[in-house]
Structure 1
Amino acid sequence: MVKIAHVCTSSLSHKILVDKLALLKKRNYDIHLISSEEGYNEKLMQNYDFKLRFIYMNRQIHIIDDVISIFRMTKLFRKEKYHIVHTHTAKAGIIGRIAGRLAGVPVVIHTSHGLPFYEGQSKKKYHTYRFLEKVGALFCDAIASQNKEDIEKIKKYAPRKPVYYEGNGVDLRRLDEENKNISDEQIKILKSRLGISNDKKVILVGARFEPVKDHFFLLEGIKHLKEYQNESDFICLLAGDGPLKEQIQQKIEDYHLSNEVKMIGFQTDIYAYIKMADLIVLTSEKEGVPRIIMEAMAFSKPIVATDVLGTRELVVHGETGLLVKYKNVESLASSIHVLLNDEGKRKEFGNNGRRRIEENFTEEIVVERIVKMYQELLQVE
């Protein structure tokens, strides 16, 4: 049996990996999941049977911490004698790849869930992160990308490495089961608990409170939408947590949006909120391929999102939702306004989105690509 270590920086990333890893396990791979313990969700992991290993990794660049993490991970890799080390997320991608090489692991792979360097960053950050990705590429056999646009960028900084398109997907069978188990009565109770009257349309934004998700752009749009709608017949729920939480709350107050925007915290189970929502919005500066949008489309929900890397690979403008130019407040507000006031269009976009997920973005499709990649790379060895 092929023994594989999947490595991510923190346990917060388990949610984006576990469904595909469960399918890989069914394909007779021995899966170990390695991360720092930060954000570990015991309730989530009760549904999965993986061997977990916790090794601290500092999210920030910290030479001493990083060297210690590399040492500990190298020791673990040597002990477990993995056939493949497969890394995810930026910091784990550096530490895991270096440790994999030092431990003599036969195949080391890194998946980019959206490159950490992108246009719009400061020059210092852009060149630092690009340099680190070039270094990481020296310590692996192949690189995979969750979106197609990043592939050419990866080939430029790692010209001697094979680059695969991995894509991203959701477990439709599980999501359909979740959907079926959420009753109308549960939605009614949830709305009551949140103080949402039945005549209000619900906008859901599920995103970590960090700069790249740009909740401040979102709030500017909502402020403008409030004037656009001419009446507050909607509420926008912000699901998430992160370092910008207090600043976002302050901006809500500054814009006098306390009646229109409600922060509901990080939700372990987001599906009832997705089902309750009339519209899903995401205003990121860039994405890999956004899971919240895939899950929403699986629930047949229409989307308004920024026309940026990763998201535009998933959302088809005028077919599954509306894409708006990043930082165009007027376009964001008017697009939300259009869909809030057109139930037929919301239903049409939602149905089209569901079909797009079925045809292009399921975990089964992604796992087939991963298995093929593993087979090709192991044959080289």
Structure 2
Amino acid sequence: MTKVAHVCTSSFSHKILVDKLSILKDRGYDVHIVSSKEGYNEELMSKYHFQLRFINMNRKINLIDDLLSIVNMTRLFKKEQYTIVHTHTAKAGIIGRIAGRLAGIPVVIHTSHGLPFYEGQSKTKYHTYRSLEKIGALFCDAIASQNKEDIEKIKQYAPQKPIYYEGNGVDLHKLDQKNTQISQDQISLLKKQLNIPSNKKVILIGARLEPVKDHFFLLDGLRYLKENYNQNFICLLAGDGPLKQEILRTIQDNYLQGFVKLLGYQTDIYPFIKLADIVALTSQKEGVPRIIMEAMAFSKPVVATNVLGTRELVIHNETGYLVEYKNVRELAFYLNLMLTDEKKRIEFGIKGRKRVEKYFTEEVVVDRIVRMYNELLKKKCKN
């Protein structure tokens, strides 16, 4: 049985990995998850049966902390004698790859869930993160990307490495079970608990409260929607993060208290997806956004920014509307268009579901991962 360590910076990332890794286990791999304990969700992980290994990792760049993490992770890798180390997220991607090489792991792979450097960053951040990715590439056998657009950028900083398209997906069987289990009575009760009248349309945003998700662009769009269109709506923000207080102040400053409600971090987002009329996302960039895949699996229409990662998933005027980033009027226009046209919401929802079924399932992604593992292991055997 091939022993594989999947490494991510914090336990917050467990949620985006566990369904995929469960299928990988079913394919005969001995899967361990390595991360810091920050954000560990016992309720979530009790539903799965993975070997968990915790190594402290500082999400910020800190030379002493990072060196200590590399030392501790190298010891762990040597002790466990993994055949494959597969890293995710930026910081774990650097620490895990270096530790994998130092520990003599046969195959070391990194998956980019959206590159940490992108247009719109300060020059310092852009070049720092690009340089770190270039260094990380020296310590692995291959790099995979969750979206197709990033592949050319990866080839530029890692020209000697094999680059794979991994993609991203959802477990449709699990989501369909969830959808069936959520009754209309539960939805009615949830609306009552949230004080949402039956005549109000609901917009859902599921995203960490951090700069790249750009909730401030969203709030500008909602303010314009409120002031210029006769819409009776409420927007639910599911997620937590460092910008929470600033977002709350912005809601108050723009008199959006009756229109926007913060839900905090939700272990089970699915009742809120089923409750929503629209699912939206105003990120500056994405890998391939899970919340949008899940929404489309639930046959929900989407309004999202026309940015890296998201536009690979959402087809404009077919499964939803894509809005140019920072175009407040356009965001409000398409939100209004979607809120007022029930026929269009149903049509987009059906087409979105079909697109996920065809291209964005965990089974499809795991097929690609297994092929990648086999190719790299075969190459190692020849060498």
Shared fold (TM-score greater than 0.5)? yes
**Partner of residue 26, structure 1:** 26
**Partner of residue 333, structure 1:** 332
Report the Cα distance in structure 1 between the residues aligned to 2:247 and 2:84, rounded to whole angstroms: 41
Conservation of the 8 A alpha-carbon contact between 1:211 and 1:244: yes
1:228, distance to aligned residue in structure 2 (A): 2.5
Conservation of the 8 A alpha-carbon contact between 1:9 and 1:36: yes
Letter in 2 for 1:352: K
**Partner of residue 216, structure 2:** 216
**Partner of residue 65, structure 2:** 65
- Superposed CA deviations along residues 16-39 of structure 1, whole A, max 9, x for unmatched, are 000010000001000000000000
**Partner of residue 296, structure 1:** 295
Letter in 1 for 2:288: V
Q: Which runs of 4+ in 1 moved over 3 A?
A: none
- Superposed CA deviations along residues 239-258 of structure 1, whole A, max 9, x for unmatched, are 00000000000000000000
Alignment length (residue pairs): 380
**Partner of residue 10, structure 2:** 10
SS at match of 1:305: strand
Report the Cα distance in structure 1 between the residues aligned to 2:361 and 2:42, rounded to whole angstroms: 25
Percentage of matched positions with identical amino acids = 71
1:305 aligns with 2:304: yes
Report the Cα distance in structure 1 between the residues aligned to 2:255 and 2:262, rounded to whole angstroms: 14
**Partner of residue 366, structure 1:** 365
- Superposed CA deviations along residues 331-367 of structure 1, whole A, max 9, x for unmatched, are 0000000000000000000000000000000000000
**Partner of residue 135, structure 2:** 135
Q: 5+ residue gaps in structure 1?
A: none
- Superposed CA deviations along residues 285-340 of structure 1, whole A, max 9, x for unmatched, are 00000000000000000000000000000000000000000000000000000000
**Partner of residue 101, structure 1:** 101
Conservation of the 8 A alpha-carbon contact between 1:6 and 1:32: yes
Conservation of the 8 A alpha-carbon contact between 1:3 and 1:83: yes
**Partner of residue 87, structure 1:** 87
Letter in 2 for 1:109: I
SS at match of 2:9: strand
**Partner of residue 247, structure 1:** 246
Report the Cα distance in structure 1 between the residues aligned to 2:137 and 2:307, rounded to whole angstroms: 25
SS at match of 2:79: helix
1:229, distance to aligned residue in structure 2 (A): 2.2
What TM-score, normalized by structure 2, do the two folds share? 0.99
Report the Cα distance in structure 2 between the residues aligned to 1:278 and 1:140, rounded to whole angstroms: 44
SS at match of 1:20: helix
Report the Cα distance in structure 1 between the residues aligned to 2:78 and 2:99, rounded to whole angstroms: 9
SS at match of 1:60: coil
1:46, distance to aligned residue in structure 2 (A): 1.1
Report the Cα distance in structure 2 between the residues aligned to 1:361 and 1:139, rounded to whole angstroms: 30
Conservation of the 8 A alpha-carbon contact between 1:228 and 1:334: no
Report the Cα distance in structure 2 between the residues aligned to 1:47 and 1:172, rounded to whole angstroms: 17
Q: 5+ residue gaps in structure 2?
A: none
1:380, distance to aligned residue in structure 2 (A): 1.0
Report the Cα distance in structure 2 between the residues aligned to 1:309 and 1:10, rounded to whole angstroms: 24
**Partner of residue 118, structure 1:** 118
Report the Cα distance in structure 1 between the residues aligned to 2:211 and 2:227, rounded to whole angstroms: 26
